[in-house]
Amino acid sequence: MVDFSKISEHFRRLHKKMEKRSPVTYVQTHSGSRLNLPKNTLNPLGIVNDVLNKVCSGNLSRKSLKRKISEYEEMQCTSSSSPFVFNYKKPRMTCYGRSLPITRLLEHLDSSSLCDIIQTLVNRHPTLLLEVASLSSRPDLSSVISTLNGMEEQVRRSFPYGGDSMGEYAYNRIRPVLQALMDALLEYTRIFLPPYESNKSLTLTFLDHITSMAHRFPEWNNPEHNYIKEELYHEISSAWISVILSIGKEGWGGINGYEWMKKLIKHNEAGRGRLESVIDVARSELACFFPEKIEDGIFSSPNNKLGFDFASCYQI
């Protein structure tokens, strides 16, 4: 039998507890504020009346009664302990400025600026020299000639308009760019000489080009200012002799020595005899391989005229 007196007493105690509470129930939200809800939202008295009616009518068993009471207590505990999240929104993220990644910075640099940065890094950290050299590809003949032609054009644009183009003012104005061109010529020459460069035809083609550039170096009124050109001819002559001797040891197979001898004679005429030492070495080496050409006078006459006009070589 169900003891209705105990059940009634239990619900009376619950009712008294509810009476002592405030008319409203406070529910704490996620942000720490309180949300006021009417007390009858939880409807505890409705649950009590429903339970009593079912008990009196005999429609509620002992197990159902315990379940109802436990559900009510669980609801009470949940409403008081668990926070009620109301209309929660994800906070906006704040954006801050920052510098570009290195890849984006390099995209906006031209070749000159990039070279300056690499050169500065190598100067500050000499240990990077070998690593930068290993990562850099070797320049080919066309790219080197293009670079040298661009530097020569810069020398030509540096000449002043009007006045004496071979005087002191013109010399002082273009001396820095002229010296830079000479340094570039000598440094690039090193990579086309044996044993670093094994292709002899490529080496001869490069020497032919830079010798023509040397002819176009200006002749200043003051002989002392011509030291740059004289030094350049000396270095180029040494390069020619080194290559000719190297070819003489390995043989002239695939190289038309007769045609190259004629080119050297033209260069010597344009250089006003500054390549005479090259002609002597070439005549000695080529005479051993082409004795039949001695009768033509190509290898024996240093004053052979080949009808080549070099007047334009001195126009800057």
Helices (H), 271-310: 276-289
Asked whether the beta carbons of 33 and 84 are under 8 A apart, the reply is: no
Mean pLDDT for all residues in the chain: 75
Cα gap 17→31, rounded to integer Å: 29
- The stretch 188-205 carries a mean pLDDT of 91
Query: In terms of pLDDT, which residue wins out, 300 or 270?
Result: 270
- Report yes or no: 316 and 218 within 8 Å, Cβ to Cβ: yes
> Quick one: tokens of 103?
């890849």
Between residues 29 and 186, the one the model is more confident about: 186
**Model confidence over 95-143: pLDDT tens digits?**
788 888 888 888 888 888 988 999 999 999 999 999 988 888 888 999 9
Q: Tens of pLDDT along 17-27? A: 655 554 444 44
Helices in the chain by DSSP H: which ranges?
Answer: 4-20, 44-57, 62-81, 102-107, 111-124, 128-135, 141-158, 168-190, 200-215, 227-250, 257-270, 276-289
Q: Give the pair of three-digit tokens for residue 170.
A: 């013109």
**Residue-range domain boundaries for the chain:** 109-138, 141-289
Structure confidence by residue, pLDDT tens digits, 35-46 = 444 444 445 555
Q: For 215-239, how does the pLDDT look when each residue is reduced to its tens digit (9 = 90+)?
A: 999 999 999 999 999 999 999 999 9
- pLDDT at 7 exceeding the cut of 80: no
User: 25 forms bridges with which residues in the sheet?
Assistant: 37
Residue scoring higher pLDDT (80 or 203)? 203
Question: What CATH fold (topology level) applies to the domain 141-289?
Answer: Methane Monooxygenase Hydroxylase; Chain G, domain 1 (1.20.58)
Residue 174 contacts residue 155 (beta carbons within 8 Å): yes
pLDDT attached to residue 54: 57
CB 6 within 8 A of CB 52: no
Tell me how far apart the alpha carbons of residues 267 and 261 are, in angstroms, rounded to a whole number: 10
Least confident of 19-33, 91-105, 179-193, 299-313: 299-313
What is the rounded distance in angstroms from the CA atom of residue 164 to the CA atom of residue 177?
18
Between strands 24-28 and 34-38, the pairing is antiparallel
Inter-axis angle of helices 128-135 and 111-124, nearest 10: 150
